[in-house]
Every structure is written in C-alpha cells, then in structure tokens.
Structure 1
Amino acid sequence: MYLPLIGRLRALEWPPLVLGLILVLAEKVLRFITGLLPSAIILACESTVKSAMEALLPPMAADTATNKAVHDVVKAPDFVSLCKLVGLEAEEHIVKTRDGYLLGIHRVRSPGAIDKPRPVVYLHHGLLMNSEVWLCAIDRKRCLPALLVDKGYDVWLGNNRGNKYSKKHLSRSPVDINFWDFSMDELALYDIPDTIDYVLSTTGEKSLAYIGFSQGSAQAFAALSLHPQLNAKVSVFVALAPAMAPPGLRAGVVDALIKASPGLIYLFFGRRAILSSAAFWQSIIYPPLFVRLIDSSLVFLFNWHGKNISAAQKVASYSHLYSFTSVKTVVHWFQIMTHRCFQMYDDDPSVRLYGQSFYRAVRFPTQNIRSPIIMIYGTVDSLVDINAMIAELPPYSVTVPIKNHEHLDLIWADDVEDVVFPHVEAAIEKYLPLHEPVDLKHTSSKNVPESPPKYAYAPPHMPPAQQKHEHLRPQRNSGSRDRGTVKHNSTTDGIIVGMADPVTAIVVPRSANATSAAAKLDAVFDDDTQVRKSAATGPADHSPNTVAGAGTSKSDRTLSTEAAYGRDMNDQHDGARTVSKITGLRVVEPIPIIASTENGDKDNSEEHPVEAKEKLKNR
C-alpha cells in the first residue's frame, strides 16, 4: 500500500496524524472490551446515563404524542416498519448489477392501492446512508415519499452496494477486501443505471423523475454523464443538497491533512467498510447522548449546527443515519476535494508527488447531461459550492437556494414541507405530470385541462428529448405554415400558434376559432413590441393601425416569437398566457417539437439544444 510519508506532510500535520492513529487504536480496544461485557452491565450503564441526562438537560419534547412518535421511529428495525408508521406499504425488490452485486430496493404505496400505470419517482440516499433516511420524519407531512404517494406517484427508493440492504454479491463475501473495492465510479457505472432500468422494466414506464440527496445527487450527475442513453430515461433530476466538488472540511488541520494525502484514510480505516463500529456504538449509547456526539462531530467537521431540526427529530433521524459503505468511496471524495473537480477515482496518486502532475484523473463529463436539472441547496451548507457546480453543468441547469438551511435540513428540517417540498413537487409536475395526455383531436377549447402550476425555474432551452410530453412526439410537417402543425398517430390533432422557445411549440385544439386565432397571431407576431406589451399589460389591439408598417417578414416569424416568448420572458407559460390573451382560447401547455426538417430529416431529439436551436433559426 502506497503511503506518502516523509517529504509529503508538513511538520504541523504529523501530530494530528499520530493522534488519529492512537484514537483509532483506542476505539478498537474499547470496542473489544465492551463486547465482552454482560448485557446487564451495559443496560445498567445506559440507565445511569439516561438518569443523568434527564436531570441535566431539558425534555426532548413537551407532548406525549411526539415522544411516542420518536420512540416508534427509533425502535423501527427496518424500512418496512418505518413505512407502517406513516401508513404506507412496502415492496422489496432485488436488482442484480452487471458486476454481480445484489441491491435491495423498495417500492412504497398506499394500502390497498390499485396497481395501475403511474408516473415513477425514484429517490436515492446520500453517503453512509440507506433508504430509511427518507422515512424518519416524526410528522407524516414532512415525509417526502408519503407526500409523493399521496399525490399519485409510483415511488421507489434505492440503495447503494454494501449498505444495510445491499450487502450481497454473487461470488464475493463482505469479509473479503474485494467486496469493498468500489468507489463512486462503480456506483455510477452500475448501481444507478441498473436500478433505473429495473424500475422502468418493472413498471412499464419509459422514464422517471430522479431525486437524489447529497451523494445520491453526485451519483446521478456521474451516471447521466457516463451513460448518454440514461438521459432519455430521466425526465427530470432534482438534486437536494447537491454534492459535486465540495470545498473541503471546516476542521482546518484535518482538512489539510486529508487533502495532502487522501490515501491516509486507508491507514486509519483499512480497505473494507468505513466506520464499521458505528452501528455497535449506536446500539448501546443512550439516543440523546448519541445525538450530542453526532452534533459535535458535524460542527467540528462541517460547521453544521442543525438549528432547523428539532431535538426530537434528531433523535429519530440519527438512529437511522448510518449505513455501511467502502473506505474507497470516502477516499474518492477526498481526492475530489483535493483537486477541486468532479473526477473519477485516481488509481495511481503516487505520480502526483511534490506538486507535479504527470497525468490528469478522468473527469466526469457533466456538461453532456441532457436531463433537466433542478438543484435545491441550503445557503449555509458548507459542502455545496454552487458556483463551481454551475460551471461544470449544462447552461439550462437551475438552482433554488433555501435561505439559512444546511445540508441535512433539506430532508429533516422542521419547515421542510414549506420551503423544500413545494419546489420538488413543482419540478416533478412540470416534467412528469400526473394528468392524462390531452387528445387534441377530440378536445374542444372548453374542456382542455388547465396547464400544470407555473414552475418559475423552468430552463428556457431544454433539449427536446427530455421534455415531458414524450407521448406526443409532434413533427413539423413538410410544406406546412411557418409555425406548423402537430401530428399524433399520423392525424393532425392541433395547430401550432406560437413558439415558447426555439424548440417548443404552443398548441391549441384544431377548430374553426383556433385556425382564425393562428391567422390573428400571424399579424400580431409581426411586431415583437406589440407581443411583449400584450404579455405585460393585457390583450393586444388587433386593429389594422396596430400592425401597419411592421417590417418583419413571414420567414422571420418564428424568431419573432422566440424573442417574445423565450429570450425576453424566459418562461414558457408566460408565452402560453400571451396566446390566450390574444386569441381568447385556453391554451394547451407548450410541448416540444422533436423536429424533422422541411426535407424530411430524421428526429433530431438527441441533438445538443444549441445545435437544434441554430437549425431552427436557419430554417
């Protein structure tokens, strides 16, 4: 094993290294001695600590109901038991990855729910966690899976290899070093895509919404960048407390030590599971005392104070906080922190001696991600460098800051149902709606359903293949008018009356008044100023004097519409409202043009959005 010793560490970094090794050795000895003690002695110690803490500290919760809820969550032994506490039923499924790991994943639903096709939402946990972290809320309204099930979604929760529900391999034993020889590379190459394929195959759906917390978001960033075909299967990616290239630890000495030599983690913890003794200590330490120890560690390492999470919620959540992962995964994170880039695991760091780099570790090509990305983060989260992330992601990525919230607040804060969940709901509803597809051919303007709630964070130029109306796949017809028509099952169902952006059409049902409305828009769109004024102040004046002398040619009308709807307003729904004001029609939500050219070119849904935009401009 390579150890960067003399000449690599500074003099001030040796004392914490030696102290850390002493503490690791002391913990092993203490754990060995404690394991030999009779249960009666351990219970007596726990009772003494409990009495002392109750005398010195204020009560955990004032009401009996809260105390009971906390007790029930703490004592719940597994995922299925936690589901019952929030009134859900759980199914357990096994995913076999291509490299032989068996992953336990879960599907949750309401008791007695009818088994029918529903939009799928997939949730993935963070580092040193498992799927239980999503169900630890002591109040059901703060449980995201329960909220999504109530909304009507088909909810699945995944697990990484090696954790509580995935500690199995076809040919390797967890006691073998080879079992734990994985980093985030393998999680992105195998676990995420194989799990998504299994979920979609089981449900029969074509795509799903992905919600990742912390490392769960990093795994999605990596997987989507490495598997181009996976982007078509993820309608929207919601990253909670997204992790990509954390700036480092707040404990200066520890941060400097680890960044100098990330491989030192192997010296402390070996090459199997990291913190494997945490479950042992958690099982024998009085829960409120365990919370104090965790809180102190979080303040020391990350400067997280947890002020937005109640003491009762911490006791409940921290009891399900830890799960196994490999030491190599943690080393991978410290390599990322050291080099300040979202890179794959560096297999040969020894060639980076003395500040010289003779090769560059492969970076995850995150600029290639095509799925819509919504990043929801706390403004005081020390692990999120949002500017660095934006620089590494496609330009249509969207950020949603949550003021004065930290990392764990995004799933456990007392106000999470008010400040976080509405953004998650809006993002999913935008790209994976619950309502049934609209059949424009058999729909009059009077009974077209309302568009989904306005989503203020919609990227203005989303790749066509990732838009939510995948079932329509409309095409621009050869020889049709500039704004075209929409076809479904080879039958003209609606008419395009405007462009929300260069690749997204606004469609109204085909009827007599829809056709005349399109003709009316032809005149209005000849004057960009008039359209923008209409959007801001109300219906446009359609008198001949209003548009007389407009200099825009018919061939420029698509670009005029783009200026009115896409560039200036940056909101597709504003464009839809403008059309509604001008025509008096209720407008079907903007849908993507998966365009074929006037000469009959094939579907360009896999093109980069900028390329698609340029082609439409030149048409």
Structure 2
Amino acid sequence: MSFKFSTPKKRRRASISQQLEAMGMSPVNISTRDAIVGEGSEDDTDNPVEEEIGNRGKPTYLSSIKNVLSIFLIVFEHLISSIILVLPKSIITSCTIVCKYIFSFFKSNNEIYNEYLKDNEEGEIFSKIEKLKNAKSFEQICGLHGFQSETHLVRTEDGFQLSVHRINPEANGFQSNGKSVFFQHGLLMTSDVWCVMLETNDNLPFRLCQLGFDVFLGNNRGNKYSGKHERYSTWQKEFWNFSIDEFAIHDIPSSINYILKFNNIEKITYIGFSQGCSQILSSVSINEDLNDKIDKLILIAPATTPKKLSNWLINSIVNFEPSLIYTLFGRKILMKSVMFWRGITYPPMFIKLIDIPNKLLFDWDSINIDIVQKLVSYYHLYSTTSVKCVVHWFQIIKSKKFQMYQEERFFNPFEYPTKNIKIGKICLIYGMSDSLVDIDIIVDQLPTFEYIKFNQISNGILIKNSQLEGQEIIKENYKVNGLSNNQQLTIFGVENYEHLDLLWGKSQEQNVKI
C-alpha cells in the first residue's frame, strides 16, 4: 500500500501523525491548531500583515474586556511588588511563618517533601536540596555534583560578552574521546537548567563528560551570566534591544566558532532545548557556513512556531500591539519582579506560583516532575531576557510563521529559510503532551529527508519503532536498514511528557540512556 500526494494545487506531504496512523501504529498525540500544517491541506500563504490590517479596527466587546482585564493584572502585579518591596522585613517574615503553617496541613505522597515541610534539615538529601537550590553559580552547581567546570568569555561582533561554561572530561578524571558537544538553553533560562537534577547521572552534561565528550554550555545575551557589553550597561535600553534574530545572527555563530577554534576541531554536536532549538535552526538557515560545522542536531522540545496560549485572558496579551507591551513592561528586562518573588516566597509556595501559571498558560499539569525536584529546578528556571524577545515570540504565534522580528506592521517580515538547512543528522525529542510543540509543523519546516525514523518512549522504555519515508508511505517497506548518513531524521516522542518534563522528568535517567 502506498500513499502519494499529487494534485493540481500546492499541497504538503502527509503529516507524521497521518503516516503513523496509516501504518497501523498509534498516532502521535498532537493537539490540532487553528491552521494545521502537514495535513495534506492547501498551503494558504496569505500575507499575515494584510490579515492583521484587515482585522484591525474591528474589536469585539469581549476582546475589549479581555484586554482591559489583562492590563489590570499586569498593573496589579507591579503595584503589589512595589508595596511589598517597601514592607519591613518583620512583616515578610511573619507572612512566611503563616505560609509554613498553612502548608503543614497539605501532605503529599512524597515522604522527603513531607519531611521538608517540617523543616527537617537532617540527612544528605536535605543538605543537597538546599545547596543546589541556593547555588549562585554554574561552578557551584557542578561542584555539588563532584565536577569541575570552567568559564570562557565569547565576544560577539556587536559587542556582547557571553559566558560559555565548559566541563572538561580530562579535568574530571575521564579520558577524552576528542568530540565536543554544545548545549543551549531555552527562553528565560541559563546553562544552570541542564545540571540541577538531584541525581548526578540524571544530568545529561555530566553523563556525556563521563563518556569523554568535551561539554560546553552556552548562555544568551542578557541572562545572569551574559550581562556585559563593550559599550552599554544593563540599565541602558540599547543593551536590551535584541530578539531571536540577534541570537541567530551573533550569539550562536560566535559561540560555536569559539569552541571549534579553542579545541582545534571541525565539527560539534549541538543540543538545544525549546528556544535553544529555534536559535540554531534560525542561525544555520541564514549562516550557510555554519551547516558544515555541526555534525548532528539534537533538538529537545523544539518550539519554533508555538500555538496560541490556552488561557483566553493571557492569550489576549499576545495580541497586544508591541507599543502597548512596551508601555506595560518597558523596553529593558522582562518581569524582573520574578527574582524578587523568588527571594521572599516560602519554597513550597513558590512551586505553586510556577505550577499554576504553567497550567493557565500552557495547560501543563507538571506531574512528571518530582515535587522534591521542583524545590531545586524551579529556583533556576527564570533568568533575565529582553521584552523585545518575548514580543518577537508573540509575533511568531500570531503569524504562525517562524519569522524574523517585525519592526513595522506594514512590512512583511522575513521568514527563516529553514528548508535550506544542510545538516544531515537531526534528532527531535518532544513530549507527546506538550502543548507548545506540534511535531508536524517542525518536520514540515525542515528540509525533506530520505527517511524519517519515529520512536515512542513510555516510562523510559522504547516501546515502538518505525521507519517513515519522506515523500511517500510504503507499508511493506517501512522498516529500512542502512540509513543514509546524510539524510537521517530521528524523532523520539515521549508519552505523557510536557515541555519541562524533558529537562527534569522522573524517568530522566532512562531517557538520558536512550
């Protein structure tokens, strides 16, 4: 049996979920979006700017209420933060005591967490939780896991100074295999997120170091490790005038070129999470020479074109004009009050302050991350970035296109030419319950591969394996041996996993092995 698509109108190839279903396998659990790509439907290429202009000036009564409520919430949070900032420390301490008392009545099925609520500081596990939670630097985090690390300074062409952390296998007592791997974090994160699992072997950078890889971990401009510029200070708005475009044009190429030169090698393996995937795909699509410097891309939770947010109230903020967003949040750091709340909030309460917005925004239940692990990971979840970067993401969500930043609404923005990517080995790893990732969209944005291999993981165990052809489905021949070295796309779908689960989920050690 074969399925081919050849119609007079321009059509896209069958989606991954359709191909799996045609083979009799369980289709990938992907939520539909307003305009599904990769379903064999007509490829509508309406100008998003014309659509936006056409819809402008027609606000409904309900949308106006949503906008007013959204603005009220933002202003209210600013007001509360300002009031608490001037409160005496004694009042804040009293509030913490009240929170502890309230949380003492809410037991979980995790005994370690219950002991934590009792302020039990005895035992190695409680000591490690507190030390990892309060670690101020990447070096401290590595030291708590028994590893040494280095910090390297990478200068970009536009004057930023980026910190790149290194975990050298030879410095940690392991034999080098001569290969290097580069990790890149996601939005509002730092390199810390890769190494804060309580169990050392659950952290992928440490496992790779043990196997002899020279591990480098990048940091985006504007986060706590990359807050230097040759001309601007962080209090100047010029410092924060960057979006995903600057990551693609400057940060990624500069970091990779530095590593290649430092180790005198020709290629590296790139591992990205969330926005870290978007950064490399955008970068290699516009920097042709970068394709020859990467032997493999491993993209974890690759959200290049996220869907609209699940909460109607918060989703209205996405539709705000950039000028209104800049008025509400300024043109510098995004939501710097998060660090203030993190510093004064009782830890179990802070977990709730993360889980509840994640549920409202993305419909994440966060049940695959152990509650004790959250006590550590959530304290390293947020770091600074620019408001412009988030505005850029809002533009991508609205247009449903992986595009460059749109300076003026009357000019059609440039869409990243990801079809031009020439890296032959790409691995996509995504949670099958992740509302931000549509695997059909991602695959459709990539160049056509000779073969696509899909693997389904459940509880850390590989349960399904299939071979898909890029252009047509041939059921009798879908298990193909001897994949071409330069035309291989491998997909891992992890059952019941959401976005952050792929960093800190309970079965992380098994997933790392796979």
TM-score normalised according to structure 1 size = 0.64
Q: Is residue 2:159 matched to residue 1:100? A: yes
Contact 1:246 1:384 in 2 (8 A): yes
SS at match of 1:55: coil
- Corresponding residue number in structure 2 for 1:391: 444
- Corresponding residue number in structure 1 for 2:501: 409
Structure 2: which amino acid aligns with 1:80? E
SS at match of 1:94: strand
Contact 2:70 2:316 in 1 (8 A): no
Q: State the alpha-carbon separation in 1 of the partners of residues 323 and 445 from structure 2.
A: 26
Q: Is residue 2:59 matched to residue 1:9? A: yes
- Corresponding residue number in structure 1 for 2:474: none
- Corresponding residue number in structure 2 for 1:335: 395
SS at match of 1:178: coil
Residues 127-157 of structure 1: per-residue CA shift (max 9 Å, x gap): 0000110111011121111111111100010
Match of 1:89 among 131, 140, 148: 148
- Corresponding residue number in structure 2 for 1:54: 104
TM-score normalised according to structure 2 size = 0.76
- Corresponding residue number in structure 1 for 2:72: 22
Quote how far apart the aligned CAs of 1:260 are: 6.1
Residues 152-181 of structure 1: per-residue CA shift (max 9 Å, x gap): 100010000000001111101111111111
SS at match of 1:375: strand
- Corresponding residue number in structure 1 for 2:134: 75
Contact 1:117 1:203 in 2 (8 A): no
Residues 33-65 of structure 1: per-residue CA shift (max 9 Å, x gap): 222233333233223312321233335536744
Match of 2:204 among 144, 167, 170: 144
SS at match of 1:71: helix
Q: Is residue 2:418 matched to residue 1:418? A: no
- Corresponding residue number in structure 1 for 2:195: 135
Q: Superposition pairs for residues 157-306 of structure 1, below 5 Å?
A: 157-259=217-319, 261=321, 264-306=324-366
Q: State the alpha-carbon separation in 2 of the partners of residues 369 and 135 from structure 1.
A: 30
Contact 2:174 2:210 in 1 (8 A): no
Quote how far apart the aligned CAs of 1:330 are: 0.6
Q: CA RMSD in A?
A: 2.1
- Corresponding residue number in structure 1 for 2:477: none
Q: State the alpha-carbon separation in 1 of the partners of residues 422 and 56 from structure 2.
A: 46
Q: State the alpha-carbon separation in 2 of the partners of residues 263 and 87 from structure 1.
A: 48
Q: Is residue 2:383 matched to residue 1:323? A: yes
Quote how far apart the aligned CAs of 1:262 are: 5.4
- Corresponding residue number in structure 1 for 2:476: none
Structure 1: which amino acid aligns with 2:309? L
Q: Is residue 2:361 matched to residue 1:308? A: no
Q: State the alpha-carbon separation in 1 of the partners of residues 505 and 205 from structure 2.
A: 15
Q: State the alpha-carbon separation in 2 of the partners of residues 263 and 383 from structure 1.
A: 25
Contact 1:188 1:223 in 2 (8 A): yes
Structure 2: which amino acid aligns with 1:363? E
1:239–1:6 Cα change, 3 Å: closer
SS at match of 2:198: coil
Quote how far apart the aligned CAs of 1:114 are: 7.2
Residues 452-479 of structure 1: per-residue CA shift (max 9 Å, x gap): xxxxxxxxxxxxxxxxxxxxxxxxxxxx
Q: State the alpha-carbon separation in 1 of the partners of residues 500 and 58 from structure 2.
A: 35
SS at match of 1:212: strand
Residues 66-119 of structure 1: per-residue CA shift (max 9 Å, x gap): 333322211211111100111111101111100000111100135554796720
Contact 2:177 2:213 in 1 (8 A): no
Q: Is residue 2:81 matched to residue 1:44? A: no
Quote how far apart the aligned CAs of 1:403 are: 1.2
Structure 2: which amino acid aligns with 1:390? V
Residues 272-324 of structure 1: per-residue CA shift (max 9 Å, x gap): 11111110110000111011111000000000111111101111100000000
Q: State the alpha-carbon separation in 2 of the partners of residues 34 and 257 from structure 1.
A: 25
Q: Is residue 2:416 matched to residue 1:364? A: yes
SS at match of 1:121: strand
Residues 245-288 of structure 1: per-residue CA shift (max 9 Å, x gap): 11121113432552364554323312111111110110000111
Residues 10-37 of structure 1: per-residue CA shift (max 9 Å, x gap): 3212223222322322322322222223
Structure 1: which amino acid aligns with 2:98? T
Q: State the alpha-carbon separation in 2 of the partners of residues 131 and 56 from structure 1.
A: 33
Residues 401-453 of structure 1: per-residue CA shift (max 9 Å, x gap): 1111110011100102213x234xxxxxxxxxxxxxxxxxxxxxxxxxxxxxx
Structure 2: which amino acid aligns with 1:39? K
Q: Superposition pairs for residues 539-618 of structure 1, below 5 Å?
A: none
SS at match of 1:237: strand
Q: State the alpha-carbon separation in 2 of the partners of residues 130 and 142 from structure 1.
A: 18
In percent, how many aligned pairs have the same letter? 38
Which stretches in structure 1 are left out of the alignment for 5+ residues?
Answer: 352-358, 424-619
Q: Superposition pairs for residues 440-459 of structure 1, below 5 Å?
A: none
Residues 542-581 of structure 1: per-residue CA shift (max 9 Å, x gap): xxxxxxxxxxxxxxxxxxxxxxxxxxxxxxxxxxxxxxxx
Contact 2:69 2:313 in 1 (8 A): no
Structure 2: which amino acid aligns with 1:406? E
Q: Is residue 2:492 matched to residue 1:400? A: yes
Structure 2: which amino acid aligns with 1:224? V
Q: State the alpha-carbon separation in 2 of the partners of residues 278 and 9 from structure 1.
A: 32
- Which range moved further: 256-265 or 81-90? 256-265
Match of 1:382 among 428, 432, 435: 435
Q: State the alpha-carbon separation in 2 of the partners of residues 99 and 152 from structure 1.
A: 34
Quote how far apart the aligned CAs of 1:220 are: 0.5
Structure 2: which amino acid aligns with 1:179? F
Which stretches in structure 2 are left out of the alignment for 5+ residues?
Answer: 1-51, 116-122, 450-488
Structure 2: which amino acid aligns with 1:205? I
Q: State the alpha-carbon separation in 1 of the partners of residues 259 and 173 from structure 2.
A: 18
Contact 1:8 1:260 in 2 (8 A): no
Q: State the alpha-carbon separation in 2 of the partners of residues 57 and 16 from structure 1.
A: 37
Structure 1: which amino acid aligns with 2:190? N
Contact 2:161 2:227 in 1 (8 A): yes
Contact 2:67 2:316 in 1 (8 A): no
Contact 1:101 1:168 in 2 (8 A): yes
Q: State the alpha-carbon separation in 1 of the partners of residues 420 and 205 from structure 2.
A: 30
Q: State the alpha-carbon separation in 2 of the partners of residues 81 and 89 from structure 1.
A: 9
SS at match of 2:271: strand
Contact 2:142 2:149 in 1 (8 A): yes
Quote how far apart the aligned CAs of 1:361 are: 1.3
Structure 2: which amino acid aligns with 1:136? V
Structure 2: which amino acid aligns with 1:402? V
SS at match of 2:91: helix
